[in-house]
């Protein structure tokens, strides 16, 4: 009971502190925000040793708690990782300010001047597991758009997250912005539930993690959610594909980083390419990939595992791929729309009409033609560093960059305009 | 139990039917959609008598059930209302197609062509009370953007809604689009709860109604919600206001349609204008408006009712206004951000710096300068007919037009692009 009250107090205090920071951020200049990003990049550089030390403590504790290899991999920071974060901060700094853009302007029949102007969203709660780099990217992408970030990281990365947030608060101070614009929330799962109820003070929640986290958010969140759900990503190799390109793109989509959400998990191949399929399976196997195939493929290559319905739905996140032979681009599209997660899906073909049908009818956030699924990345697509890949259908889809963390305001300028001439003084 | 199963079956059947309609709508041409709008306008014209008859049945039943005057007003359709709907359909038809617009296009360093293209959202559930005109506007605004609409109207308007949806389905048929793109859901509150769980099949819910409906949606909706909550709208009269303009704009904001969400409910006046306040109160009173004022106003005009804290928060929706004397534009901004509903708020001033401070710091969807709150309307602002006024912070804010009922897809075109040259065949 006592502990409950303490958590409740902590969550509320963080949200209240974020309110005054939020108001101050409304008048933060592009210059001030960039100064904070520069300061943070410098602080990361100067404190590499401290960050790695905090991370090593987390790693040791995680090992003592018998954490899985996957968790340990996500948890670990290297000097190289920190350099990537520094580069992301520099890239963000170089992007145009996403706030204050007049992206619609018009004059109405009555002579009113109407504008839509981009403004910050407000306070953003980022809930994440393990990966401590979110403690750099999250606040950075949010801050550039004038938002405040409340981070709630997994307890396994508590030391690393604590260290990084301390640096953020110093950087904000150095840039002349309120340090409460970045906060770290402790506590247990109760803390998360309580935070998810504060829709008056927290305008958006971005969850990044597994099924259990998504379910908690679905049940408790009273504010809008930018979902980052599973990426069951497909490539479809059409009858008119260039097979050399296809082989390169498929291997790249599967093998570059098998554990990330935009890795290819399922592969659809046109039946005209059946003879080529044996070659494909061999190539994948020679790179250590386990192939689970449909009946047609199994008949051709008996040593593949027969895929079941679950395989078509599964995000393996490791060196396994499901392969299905299909009769047409229509069948491929239907399969992807049915079994996919609307994340990132691609087609490999030289035929323009087929390509266009695929683009028009696959209902995914990102649709690729003749390119590796690895390209679903904010920086690589030209949107700048991302806070994650949204599988929401509204607001932001695909890589969520700083521009996606704005909303807008409609500004109407008149000169004593009234609607109803009958209401007179 | 039996009844439960039936509702469950009805909801599920409607959602399933909407799925195939949704797919068909993905390839609906602008021409086809406009043909449906034209057909619907014609059907409304031809069936005025039937619509009014159905509406009269609803009105009779509502009177027999002792419905409130407010409900009866919302429920009633007149030939004039139907003509307005017909004009809205014609206006929608004349708007550019909101689907398939490439609103971002770029080439990445690696030579990928990246586009953001507007696409339909999918299936939209519109839950509304009484007002049967939503049965015309909702599907129309949705359809123009390639969406399917499931309407769930209040039982008090069952006959009118049924009649209008039958016409929609005829119009879709005449335009060569699937009639299941517009459906009407019956059943009781259980039906609504069940529909709100179908996040796999329904992509967006738009609730239009009172507190109880909003609470149901907040508790049960598993899909994104475009909120249409209370409009506690303010005007602030600055020390540098032109008082003639101010008087006209205030009366228009309060009196044109006191029962709509963008009517002015609260009025803030700079203390330098205190002498003018007595005149203002008299003017409002002479138009039948009850004034509830702060202590300062009450001291000046003893016959005003003393406002309490609840008054500052209340959306009266009738001929009452709360008035507070404030010391500065900053105080006005803070009051609006604290007590307002972030819907529509205005300033009346001739001073540009004050105006800009107000625009920058009032956190409302629509911010007006020297104009009546009545202008918060899709058609009047140049966005076309609306489905409602969103008080959500994400996706669409203010009047929700057809363009707001699209999302986007990121299309990436490569030529065998791979990330990692090390993964080779």
pLDDT at B35 over 70: yes
Interface probe for A, chosen from B250, B361, B396, B411 (most Cβ of A below 10 Å), is B411
Residues of chain B numbered 308-347 and touching chain A (CB < 8 Å) = none
Rounded CA Rg of chain A: 24
Which residue in this structure is represented by tokens 């030579």?
B111
Same domain, A309 and A238: yes
pLDDT digits over B127-167, tens only? 998 889 999 999 999 999 999 999 999 999 999 999 999 99
Of B369, B413, B419, the CB nearest to A412: B369
Q: Across residues B311-330, what is the average pLDDT?
A: 96
Contact B131, B80 (CB under 8 A): no
Interface probe for B, chosen from A411, A415, A421 (most Cβ of B below 10 Å), is A411
Handedness of CA A357, A363, A366, A372 (dihedral sign): negative
CATH of the domain at B124: 3.40.605.10
Number of domains within chain B: 2
**Does any domain span residue B318?**
yes
| Calpha distance A291→A202 (Å, rounded) | 45
pLDDT of residue B423: 53
Q: How far is CA A424 from CA A112, B67, B266, B286, B347, in A?
A: 20, 33, 20, 11, 20
- The three-class DSSP label of residue B370 is strand
pLDDT of residue B209: 84
Tokens standing for A406? 């704005």
Tokens standing for A232? 């069951």
**Does any domain span residue B310?**
yes
Using a CB–CB cutoff of 8 Å, tell me whether A416 touches chain B.
yes
Tokens standing for B376? 């918060």
pLDDT digits over A194-225, tens only? 999 999 899 999 999 888 888 889 889 989 99
What ranges in B199-351 are assigned the alpha helix state H? Answer: 211-220, 243-255, 274-286, 295-300, 309-313, 329-339
Q: Which residues of chain A have pLDDT under 70?
A: 1-7, 421-425
Which one is predicted more confidently, B348 or B154? Answer: B348
**Does any domain span residue A154?**
yes
| Calpha distance B166→B145 (Å, rounded) | 21
Handedness of CA B246, B250, B253, B257 (dihedral sign): negative
**Does any domain span residue B263?**
yes
Using a CB–CB cutoff of 8 Å, tell me whether A198 touches chain B.
no
Q: Which residues of A touch B407 (CB under 8 A)?
A: 393-394, 397
pLDDT at B3 over 80: no
Contact B113, B413 (CB under 8 A): yes
Which domain range does residue B255 map to? 233-381
**Does any domain span residue B6?**
yes
Q: Which residues of A touch B409 (CB under 8 A)?
A: 359, 363-367, 397
**Does any domain span residue B416?**
no
**Does any domain span residue A263?**
yes
CATH of the domain at B281: 3.40.309.10
Residues of chain A numbered 105-144 and touching chain B (CB < 8 Å) = 106, 108, 110, 112, 114, 119, 121-122
What ranges in A95-225 are assigned the alpha helix state H? Answer: 134-144, 158-174, 189-196, 211-220
Query: Would the CB atoms of B423 and A224 count as touching at under 8 Å?
Result: no
Same domain, B201 and B287: no
pLDDT of residue A211: 82
Same domain, B70 and B179: yes
Same domain, A101 and A163: yes
Same domain, A376 and A404: no
Using a CB–CB cutoff of 8 Å, tell me whether B285 touches chain A.
no
Closest CA to B326 of B360, B349, B356, B302: B349
Using a CB–CB cutoff of 8 Å, tell me whether B424 touches chain A.
yes
pLDDT at B4 over 60: no
pLDDT of residue A6: 61
| Calpha distance B302→B208 (Å, rounded) | 39
Q: Which residues of B touch A399 (CB under 8 A)?
A: 410
Same domain, B181 and B304: no
Percent of chain B past pLDDT 90, that is, above it, reads 85
pLDDT of residue B425: 46
End-to-end CA distance of chain B: 61
pLDDT of residue A227: 84
Tokens standing for A23? 């108001």
Contact B139, B129 (CB under 8 A): no
Closest CA to B260 of B422, B78, B73: B73
- Residue A225 DSSP class: B
Same domain, A181 and A279: no
Same domain, A172 and A246: no
Tokens standing for B348? 């009346």
| Calpha distance B62→B81 (Å, rounded) | 19
Of A376, A413, A423, the CB nearest to B251: A423
Same domain, B219 and B291: no
pLDDT digits over A37-94, tens only? 999 999 999 999 999 999 999 999 999 999 888 889 889 999 999 999 999 999 999 9
Query: Would the CB atoms of A369 and B414 count as touching at under 8 Å?
Result: yes
Same domain, B95 and B208: yes
Of B381, B394, B425, the CB nearest to A412: B381
Longest Cα pair distance anywhere in chain A, in angstroms? 89
Q: How far is CA A271 from CA A234, A371, A405, B31, in A?
A: 17, 21, 43, 36
Contact A130, A157 (CB under 8 A): yes
Contact B44, B168 (CB under 8 A): no
Q: Across residues B364-374, what is the average pLDDT?
A: 97
Same domain, B29 and B175: yes
Same domain, A256 and A183: no
Q: How far is CA A198 from CA A123, A201, B222, B421, in A?
A: 11, 6, 18, 47
**Does any domain span residue A281?**
yes
Using a CB–CB cutoff of 8 Å, tell me whether B425 touches chain A.
yes
| Calpha distance A378→A358 (Å, rounded) | 22
| Calpha distance B365→B391 (Å, rounded) | 7
Residues of chain A numbered 18-57 and touching chain B (CB < 8 Å) = 23, 26-27
Contact A383, A390 (CB under 8 A): no
| Calpha distance A360→A264 (Å, rounded) | 21
pLDDT of residue B1: 40
Interface contacts A/B by beta carbons within 8 Å: 239
| Calpha distance A321→A265 (Å, rounded) | 5
Cα-to-chain-centroid distance, residue A14: 24
Q: Return mean pLDDT, chain B.
A: 94
Interface probe for B, chosen from A417, A420, A422, A424 (most Cβ of B below 10 Å), is A417
| Calpha distance A76→A94 (Å, rounded) | 28
pLDDT at B96 over 60: yes
């Amino acid at each position: 009971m006592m502990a409950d009250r303490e958590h409740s107090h902590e969550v509320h205090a963080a949200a209240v502190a974020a309110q005054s920071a939020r108001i101050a951020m409304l008048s933060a200049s592009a210059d001030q925000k960039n100064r904070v990003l520069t300061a943070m990049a410098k602080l990361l550089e100067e404190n590499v040793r401290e960050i790695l030390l905090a991370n090593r403590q987390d790693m040791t504790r995680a090992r003592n708690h018998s954490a899985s290899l996957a968790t340990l991999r996500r948890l670990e920071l290297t000097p190289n990782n920190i350099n990537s974060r520094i580069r992301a901060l520099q890239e963000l700094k170089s992007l145009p300010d996403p706030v204050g853009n007049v992206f619609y302007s018009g004059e109405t029949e009555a002579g009113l001047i109407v504008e839509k102007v981009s403004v910050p969203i407000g306070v953003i709660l980022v809930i994440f597991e393990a990966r401590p780099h979110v403690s750099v990217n999250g606040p950075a992408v949010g801050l550039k758009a004038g938002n405040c970030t409340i981070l709630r990281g997994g307890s396994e990365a508590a030391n690393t997250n604590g260290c990084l947030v301390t640096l953020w608060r110093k950087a904000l101070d150095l840039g002349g912005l309120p340090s409460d614009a970045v906060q770290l929330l402790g506590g247990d799962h109760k803390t998360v539930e309580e935070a998810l109820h504060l829709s008056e003070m927290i305008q958006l929640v971005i969850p990044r993690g597994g099924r259990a986290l998504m379910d908690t958010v679905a049940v408790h969140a009273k504010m809008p959610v930018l979902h980052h759900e599973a990426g069951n990503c497909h490539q479809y190799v059409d009858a008119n594909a260039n097979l050399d390109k296809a082989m390169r793109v498929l291997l790249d989509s599967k093998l570059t980083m098998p554990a990330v959400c935009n890795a290819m998990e399922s592969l659809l191949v046109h039946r005209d390419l059946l003879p080529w399929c044996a070659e494909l399976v061999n190539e994948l196997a020679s790179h250590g990939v386990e192939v689970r195939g449909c009946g047609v493929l199994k008949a051709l290559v008996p040593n593949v595992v027969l895929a079941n319905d679950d395989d078509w739905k599964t995000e393996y996140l490791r060196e396994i791929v499901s392969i299905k032979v299909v009769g047409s681009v229509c069948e491929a599209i239907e399969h992807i729309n049915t079994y996919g997660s609307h994340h990132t899906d691609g087609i490999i073909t030289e035929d323009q009409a087929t390509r266009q049908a695929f683009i028009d009818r696959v209902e995914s956030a990102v649709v690729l033609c003749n390119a590796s699924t690895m390209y679903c990345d904010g920086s690589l697509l030209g949107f700048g560093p991302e806070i994650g890949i949204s599988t929401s259908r509204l607001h932001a889809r695909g890589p969520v960059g700083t521009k996606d963390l704005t909303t807008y305001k409609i500004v109407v300028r008149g000169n004593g305009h009234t609607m109803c001439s009958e209401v007179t003084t």
